[in-house]
Amino acid sequence: MKHLLSVDDLGPEGIEEVMGLTDSFVEVSARSIPKVPALRGRTVVSLFYEESTRTRLSFEAAAKRLSADTMNFSVGSSSVSKGESLRDTVVTIEAMGVDAVVVRHSSAGVPAQVARWVDASVVNAGDGWHEHPTQALLDCYTLRQHLGSLDCRRIAIVGDVKHSRVARSDVAAFARLGAEVILVAPPTLLPPSLAGWPVEVSHDLDAVLPKLDAVILLRMQQERQHEALVPSLREYTATYGLTSRRAALLPEAAVVMHPGPMNRGVEIAADVADLDCSVITRQVANGVAVRMAVLFLLLGAG
């Protein structure tokens, strides 16, 4: 496997391989010296056109724990100069000799375009609405820690699926592992066509909750309010928010996940969010291990 642009690049055994490798790297990360020489001499570059300190640092930590060298091009710093074309920037980076480029961009498809222009391996760290494969892998890992195998599990993804790259990657990953995926959202927050998506759809959250093994709440972005996708946040919360009444409908062992940061009172009621035994936000430590697994798979495993 040369690139990780979407979850589908991993193929059927790929996700299992990443899960197994993540176990190994969780062990590495727990050591007093959390480092192995596996990618010594390799260079991993982050090319972040969209600011995201957490994700970028997670990839950087992952590369460093594998003893790789890192370089950083982020739009926050001046190293990504405005006006320089994407292609010129990428080709310049490659000329410095890099083995992997981790790309985040607000436009879908940029990692695929970068992959056409460089010899290095490309990792998609989030491209527009399209995909965020390493986050989905992390979600799989976290869910497996709580549920065991995801085969035949029922997992609901609730909220703004249309604009969510995490949702697209999650759907692909969960379905690949044998889970039944249900999208719960108003029609305006679903993609125009779900042809070929391995999902069921429901507009009735109450009906879906009692039979779930896990529910993933997507952030209802305040920034989208002007697009008239829902009449108001209040209406959204009334129909799709995880209120305490709804939380009680969930089976005892069901897991509630939220990519974070949470909009308390919108997609999740404040008192439900504070039941910290039930709500799991991104596990930062596991995130580094998952990304170590991905980098090792691309650059080390051959």
- Where residue 118 falls (left for φ over 0; alpha for ψ -120 to 50; beta otherwise) is beta
112 is a contact residue toward other proteins (CB under 8 A): yes
265 is a contact residue toward other proteins (CB under 8 A): no
Tell me the H-state helices in 66-214: 86-95, 110-117, 133-147, 165-176, 205-208
14 is a contact residue toward other proteins (CB under 8 A): no
CA-based nearest residue to 179, from 143, 205, 132, 207:
143
21 is a contact residue toward other proteins (CB under 8 A): yes
The minimum distance between CB 201 and other proteins, in angstroms, equals 13
The smaller minimum CB distance to other proteins, of residues 206 and 227, is found at 227
Grouping H, G, I as helix, E, B as strand and the rest as coil, residue 64 is helix
CB 228 within 8 A of CB 170: no
Grouping H, G, I as helix, E, B as strand and the rest as coil, residue 98 is coil
Point out which span in 104-112, 144-152, 245-253, 255-263 binds other proteins (CB under 8 A).
Answer: 104-112
The minimum distance between CB 36 and other proteins, in angstroms, equals 4
Residue 293 DSSP label: H
Binder among 14, 57, 94, 128 for other proteins (CB under 8 A)? 128
2 is a contact residue toward other proteins (CB under 8 A): no
The smaller minimum CB distance to other proteins, of residues 40 and 54, is found at 40
Please, which of residues 22-51 interact with other proteins by CB under 8 A? 23-24, 27-28, 31-33, 35-39, 42
Start-to-end CA distance of the chain, whole Å, equals 8
Report d(CA 57, CA 63) in Å as an integer: 10
For tokens 């209406």, name the residue.
Answer: 235
Give the amino acid at 31: R
The minimum distance between CB 192 and other proteins, in angstroms, equals 5
The smaller minimum CB distance to other proteins, of residues 42 and 282, is found at 42
Report d(CA 225, CA 266) in Å as an integer: 13
Binder among 96, 193, 226, 232 for other proteins (CB under 8 A)? 193
CA-based nearest residue to 101, from 74, 130, 141:
74
175 is a contact residue toward other proteins (CB under 8 A): no
Report d(CA 299, CA 43) in Å as an integer: 10
Binder among 48, 129, 141, 236 for other proteins (CB under 8 A)? 129
Binder among 50, 60, 131, 180 for other proteins (CB under 8 A)? 131
Binder among 110, 143, 157, 209 for other proteins (CB under 8 A)? 110
Give the amino acid at 109: G
Grouping H, G, I as helix, E, B as strand and the rest as coil, residue 126 is strand
The minimum distance between CB 281 and other proteins, in angstroms, equals 23
Give the interface with other proteins as residue ranges (CB under 8 A).
17, 20-21, 23-24, 27-28, 31-33, 35-39, 42, 66, 85-87, 105, 107-110, 112-113, 116, 127-131, 165, 168, 191-197, 296, 299-302
